[in-house]
Amino acid sequence: MSKLQGKRALVTGGSRGIGAAIARRLAAEGADVAITYQRSAEAAKRVVEEIRATGRRAVAIAADSADSRAAEDMVSAAVAQLGGLDILVNNAGILEVGRLEELSVEGIERSLAVNVRAVVLASRAAIPHLGPKSRIINIGSCLASQVPGPGLAVYAMTKAALVGLTKGLARDLGSNGTTVNIVHPGPTDTDMNPATGAGAEGQRQRIALGQYGSPEDIAASVAFLASEDGRHITGAELAVDGGINA
């Protein structure tokens, strides 16, 4: 597999879960990869070591997506260490569950900062570095379009916001062949939403295919969109959700 040979990718939140799987998959396809993390320095180091063992370049960058000043530094560090940037995957995200009146103002602001503002600022910082035919791939959620129960309004709002950003950026960047898309995972077995967690069975029952996705399922679709095969797809929403919204 070398569909991404010579490409340089930055994956936010690449220390665990879906982001780590995306970083591994892009590297397996031939890309050099920078990942960011906030708290999980050891896990990030392990992902980097795994990728380096396959012969690809990999670096871990500490960058808190909640910090509006971190985006430019993060992108600069990735560009400096990889020698440029062709693929940005905005994956880092947090899930704050609670009815609106129960959530703290700080929690709401943090959700907006990590799930929305950081994606805007990382894209803004990356654009001047992206050459023709680059890729921006945002990680949304099946909850961006359908909210099956209470306590998810703020999270759903943040992911729905990314749809507008994705479509607008597809228009802004299309003239040089750069594509911008959003992948909407359904329930995916990670620390955020373990397949053995308290709410898992209820989610599983709503999935047409009857089971959680794996981080690798999401990574496969990201790798496809990042590759030359995805060249004519932009401004698109790709559901990788086992049919939960079917």
Active-site amino acid positions? 155
Distance from C-alpha of 88 to C-alpha of 134, rounded to nearest angstrom: 8
- Residue with Cβ nearer ligand NDP (98 or 177): 98
In the list 31, 48, 66, 121, the residue contacting ligand NDP (rule: CB under 6 A) is 66
Site string for ligand NDP, 21-60 (x = CB under 6 A): ---------------xxxxx--------------------
Contact residues for 141 (Cβ-Cβ < 8 A; gap 6+): 93, 155, 156, 159, 184, 185
**Minimum distance of ligand NDP from residue 225's CB (angstroms):** 15
End-to-end distance of the chain based on CA atoms, in angstroms? 32
Measured from the CB atom, is 39 or 231 closer to ligand NDP? 39
- Interface with ligand NDP in residues 112-141 (CB under 6 A): 114, 139, 141
111 near ligand NDP, judged by CB under 6 A: no
Asked whether position 17 contacts ligand NDP by CB under 6 A, the answer is yes
Q: Which is nearer to ligand NDP, 178 or 193 (CB)?
A: 193
The correct pick among 7, 29, 93, 116 for binding ligand NDP (CB under 6 A) is 93
**CB burial readout 181-212, b (16+ within 10 A) else e:** bbbbbbbbbbeebebeeeeeeebbebbeeeeb
**Rounded to whole angstroms, how far apart are CA atoms 226 and 199?**
33
Q: Which two tokens stand for residue 142?
A: 């099946």
